[in-house]
A and B are shown apart, each in its own frame.
Chain A
């Protein structure tokens, strides 16, 4: 066969999934399993006076009730060691674990949870960014100075409730503002967004031979290993993590969740322990996308040039730092890119509040940063009465664009091609015409996560190819299709003859997880590295079998054949079988991690995530209609032009675009996870928290712009994460166009639409 890369091949894991046979983390059971449930803080802030576990412990079927006293006295985290397993003297958010119950059945464990009596002296919560940043605000953590960065990470600016501050100020910004014809200032606010994967979180652990084995459905088993090890105070090699099918994640399964608890409990009760969240527990404790406030000010000239910018962003990390201190680096990659802005100052802060810790969600922070930047871009164009598309083209970056971190984008000019492709499919002049209709555009760049990956390839005696990798299949098909196809092409075999392992940290080399669209790019590249070694071995073994020199044979169509004599050939099965006893099994390994792009570390302070590797380029256009009576928004048409390097599986990439846009539509229009003044979530179920249904999402049109990357396997870059990034901006711009009013909040509710219409009538 002529190779499977670039073709849409059958997705092999779809069969067990459509039959209901696939075993997800929550379906997995070990013999003799006990079940656990967590006691979660009912209040967002307060001092624990006492915990009475006696009534719970006396319940039928209860094996153990565990509190902070039974856990290692440690704090740990992704960036800052600030989070204990169980709260002991104070609680910092509603939902913070206080105790755990282990029982014979899940029902018994959940019943006993309500019998654990926790006496808390409540204190007023710091419930919002504004409250946390007010002069003299109460400290979420009075002992914040005692928290240390995780080993290997340098200190960064932090003070009180501000757990991280990133500043990039190149100088001369105020002078540039002074020379501007107009200065436009906007404030944007975004609510939280809950990942709402369909499979709630769970973990099953067993403790044997002084080691912990944890069964998960997780995006990043190696992070489960290291984070569980640090939470329990043991070496990482004492933790083994085994992955199962995963019911979505979208970022929420990147940090640890229930795994350290399951591991600790399994040791304490000396039996397998399964811990499962119900949906309301899952929503309450999930590291949702952070809420944020963005203040953006730009100087613009009458001829359309943007000459100065200030970009200030506050992100709510909740009660613990999690990964938000990394995310405050993201604005410097976006605020001065896509459009040339010669002079830009950026200050971004991560802020503690008495709310659930936030964290990674597909398009981390990019969704609201792009919303702010592209809504503001429309406002700049409108200020100087220039067409919004023309204004964008006027300011577009080109090859050699220098980002605010000093990193050079050698191929940024592809963005012009992307704008032209959009125009070809959805001409600007034809979109958004008619009463109550509007059109909006948004463009962004996004990264491909650089984290390392490793692959071992083995040619089996029946001619099938084993791919031993720790990569996790989150649902995108990056493993089920992409990695499998790339591996198949190494030997010219059918992808159906490629067998890929599930993650097991005892078996494979480190894998950086299903995050940031890295799997096809990084693991695919590791496959190619391993393939080079394996092909060499296969050629040598095949030549020996054919009685030829290695230089005179070649691999193709499942055979090794003599060059120029296609009928003198042996099957890969014959080669592998014979080699077994001649030279041993045919096995080769490959590793890859993206080299850090060159950048200038002096451009910013507090830059913990310093570069934006393997960037991709994106332009979206949306056409909407608003109902002037109800304020409801219908997305009539949505077009994505996405630069992908090379599409290994085109249908797979299109599926990521359609799904990412659907999540973006939810974010733009429905999905506000809001915090009341009492510090509690207002939406607490999937009924109250509304994700898009089939009636809400149009047929998304996707154009894949191929532009092969030198480092990627067959030129592939990341593709799955970024389609969500520009959606709220494109829709927000379209609604602003349709209504003639300001759209400055995410989600854009029917009330916001009616307000915007009323504002326009007043003008």
Chain B
């Protein structure tokens, strides 16, 4: 069983023809060669594959690709401005030493991008709760939380 459908990925309409049980993560990585979203667990636990579907963070490793038909998908590759500039969250990650191995980073950035879209002044507690589906094994989370606080302070 295959499925042909269209979706908007990082502002461009794409049409793909994939197996009906294919995940959104594999379509992004293997068909569209957008490898910023990572496969860390393939069971929706680690959040390294987080992308936004219609603005909401999803674990793309367990999100059926055909369910994205007609929807808008944003990945880490689509965040930067046309001049290559980083978003405030990305900038704060770089400046605040919130990146170590970096494998989890795209997923964190996507989750946090959705968070501050909804809540422009999140508290530390809001941030920790929003991140409960994203695992980082390197940083101990403090620099990541501080990066969000920095980015949102500068925005306001």
Given A18-B102, A685-B43, are A659 and B139 also a contact pair (CB < 8 Å)? Answer: yes
Q: Which 10 A-B pairs have the closest CB atoms?
A: A20-B36, A475-B101, A247-B103, A17-B102, A662-B140, A20-B76, A658-B140, A475-B100, A14-B99, A686-B45
Given A198-B48, A686-B43, A694-B127, are A250 and B105 also a contact pair (CB < 8 Å)? Answer: no
Among A21-29, A366-374, A613-621, the stretch that binds chain B is: A21-29
Q: Which residues of chain B come closer than 8 Å to A655, judged between CB atoms?
A: 97, 100, 138-140, 143
Q: Which residues of chain B come closer than 8 Å to A104, judged between CB atoms?
A: none
Q: Is the CB of A198 within 8 A of B103?
A: yes
> Is B17 at the interface (CB under 8 A from chain A)?
no
Q: Taking the nearest CB of chain A, how far is it from the CB of B19, in angstroms?
A: 8
Q: Is the CB of A279 within 8 A of B40?
A: yes
Q: Which residues of chain B come closer than 8 Å to A475, judged between CB atoms?
A: 100-102, 138
> Is A181 at the interface (CB under 8 A from chain B)?
no
CA distance A359 to B86 in the complex (A): 40
Q: Is the CB of A697 within 8 A of B38?
A: no
Q: Is the CB of A197 within 8 A of B41?
A: no
Give a binary string over B97-111; 1 marks a CB under 8 Å from any A CB, 0 the rest.
Answer: 101111111100100
Q: Taking the nearest CB of chain B, how far is it from the CB of A685, in angstroms?
A: 6
Give a binary string over A677-699; 1 marks a CB under 8 Å from any B CB, 0 the rest.
Answer: 00000000111000101110101
> Is B77 at the interface (CB under 8 A from chain A)?
yes
Q: Is the CB of B35 within 8 A of A18?
A: no
Q: Which residues of chain A come closer than 8 Å to B39, judged between CB atoms?
A: 26, 200
> Is B7 at the interface (CB under 8 A from chain A)?
no
Listed by A's residue number, 25 A-B pairs whose Cβ atoms lie within 8 Å are A14-B102, A17-B102, A19-B86, A21-B36, A26-B39, A197-B103, A198-B40, A198-B46, A198-B101, A198-B104, A198-B137, A199-B38, A248-B100, A248-B101, A250-B137, A279-B40, A651-B97, A652-B97, A658-B141, A658-B143, A663-B137, A663-B140, A691-B135, A694-B144, A694-B145
Given A662-B141, A699-B142, are A20 and B100 also a contact pair (CB < 8 Å)? Answer: no
> Is B129 at the interface (CB under 8 A from chain A)?
yes
> Is A388 at the interface (CB under 8 A from chain B)?
no
CA distance A196 to B134 in the complex (A): 13
> Is B121 at the interface (CB under 8 A from chain A)?
no
CA distance A693 to B104 in the complex (A): 13
Q: Is the CB of B41 within 8 A of A685?
A: yes
CA distance A408 to B56 in the complex (A): 59
CB contact between A278 and one of B42, B95, B105 (< 8 Å): that residue: B42
* A664 nearest in chain B by CB position: B140
CB contact between B141 and one of A19, A652, A660, A694 (< 8 Å): that residue: A694
Q: Is the CB of B42 within 8 A of A279?
A: yes
**Interface residues in A121-150 (C-beta closer than 8 Å to B):** none
Q: Taking the nearest CB of chain B, how far is it from the CB of A21, in angstroms?
A: 7
CA distance A651 to B142 in the complex (A): 12
Since A8-B97, A250-B137, A475-B138 are in contact, a sample of 11 more A-B pairs with Cβ atoms closer than 8 Å, ordered by chain A residue number, is A13-B99, A197-B137, A198-B40, A198-B48, A655-B140, A662-B140, A686-B45, A686-B46, A691-B137, A695-B132, A699-B142
Q: Which residues of chain A come closer than 8 Å to B60, judged between CB atoms?
A: none
Give a binary string over B106-137; 1 marks a CB under 8 Å from any A CB, 0 the rest.
Answer: 10010000000000000000011101101111
* A248 nearest in chain B by CB position: B101
Q: Which residues of chain B come closer than 8 Å to A687, judged between CB atoms?
A: 43, 45
CB contact between B135 and one of A8, A246, A477, A693 (< 8 Å): that residue: A693
Interface of chain B, main secondary structure: loop
Interface of chain A, main secondary structure: loop
Q: Is the CB of B135 within 8 A of A697?
A: no
**Interface residues in B57-110 (C-beta closer than 8 Å to A):** 75-77, 79-80, 86, 90, 93-95, 97, 99-106, 109
- Which of B36, B135, B140 neighbours the largest number of chain A CB atoms within 10 Å of its CB? B140
> Is B37 at the interface (CB under 8 A from chain A)?
yes
Q: Which residues of chain B come closer than 8 Å to A660, judged between CB atoms?
A: 140
Q: Is the CB of A18 within 8 A of B93?
A: yes
CA distance A200 to B40 in the complex (A): 6
Q: Which residues of chain B come closer than 8 Å to A248, judged between CB atoms?
A: 100-101, 103, 137-138
Q: Taking the nearest CB of chain A, how far is it from the CB of B90, in angstroms?
A: 5
CA distance A200 to B46 in the complex (A): 12
Q: Is the CB of A694 within 8 A of B128?
A: yes
Number of B interface residues, CB 8 Å? Answer: 50
Q: Taking the nearest CB of chain A, how far is it from the CB of B13, in angstroms?
A: 21
Q: Is the CB of A199 within 8 A of B42?
A: no
Q: Which residues of chain A come closer than 8 Å to B34, judged between CB atoms?
A: 20
Q: Taking the nearest CB of chain A, how far is it from the CB of B46, in angstroms?
A: 6
* Contact surface of B with A, Cβ cutoff 8 Å: 34-43, 45-46, 48, 75-77, 79-80, 86, 90, 93-95, 97, 99-106, 109, 127-129, 131-132, 134-145
CA distance A659 to B77 in the complex (A): 27
Give a binary string over A478-496; 1 marks a CB under 8 Å from any B CB, 0 the rest.
Answer: 0000000000000000000
> Is A238 at the interface (CB under 8 A from chain B)?
no
Q: Which residues of chain A come closer than 8 Å to B141, judged between CB atoms?
A: 658, 662, 693-694, 697
> Is A474 at the interface (CB under 8 A from chain B)?
yes
Given A662-B140, A694-B141, are A20 and B35 also a contact pair (CB < 8 Å)? Answer: yes
> Is A245 at the interface (CB under 8 A from chain B)?
yes
* A16 nearest in chain B by CB position: B102
Q: Which residues of chain B come closer than 8 Å to A476, judged between CB atoms?
A: 100
CA distance A200 to B80 in the complex (A): 27
CA distance A248 to B38 in the complex (A): 13
**Interface residues in A1-49 (C-beta closer than 8 Å to B):** 8, 10-11, 13-15, 17-24, 26-27
* A699 nearest in chain B by CB position: B142
Given A200-B40, A695-B132, are A18 and B105 also a contact pair (CB < 8 Å)? Answer: yes
CB contact between B101 and one of A247, A651, A693 (< 8 Å): that residue: A247
Q: Taking the nearest CB of chain A, how far is it from the CB of B83, in angstroms?
A: 13
Q: Which residues of chain A come closer than 8 Å to B41, judged between CB atoms?
A: 279, 685-686
Q: Which residues of chain A come closer than 8 Å to B144, judged between CB atoms?
A: 694
Q: Taking the nearest CB of chain A, how far is it from the CB of B84, in angstroms?
A: 9
> Is A661 at the interface (CB under 8 A from chain B)?
yes
CA distance A15 to B84 in the complex (A): 11
CA distance A195 to B103 in the complex (A): 14
> Is A587 at the interface (CB under 8 A from chain B)?
no
Q: Which residues of chain A come closer than 8 Å to B128, judged between CB atoms?
A: 694-695
CA distance A693 to B134 in the complex (A): 7
Q: Taking the nearest CB of chain A, how far is it from the CB of B15, in angstroms?
A: 21
**Interface residues in A293-328 (C-beta closer than 8 Å to B):** none
> Is A180 at the interface (CB under 8 A from chain B)?
no
Q: Which residues of chain A come closer than 8 Å to B131, judged between CB atoms?
A: 693-694
CA distance A20 to B109 in the complex (A): 10
Q: Taking the nearest CB of chain A, how far is it from the CB of B119, in angstroms?
A: 16
Q: Is the CB of B140 within 8 A of A700?
A: yes
CA distance A195 to B42 in the complex (A): 17
CA distance A248 to B39 in the complex (A): 14
* B131 nearest in chain A by CB position: A694
Q: Which residues of chain B come closer than 8 Å to A694, judged between CB atoms?
A: 127-128, 131-132, 134, 136, 141, 144-145
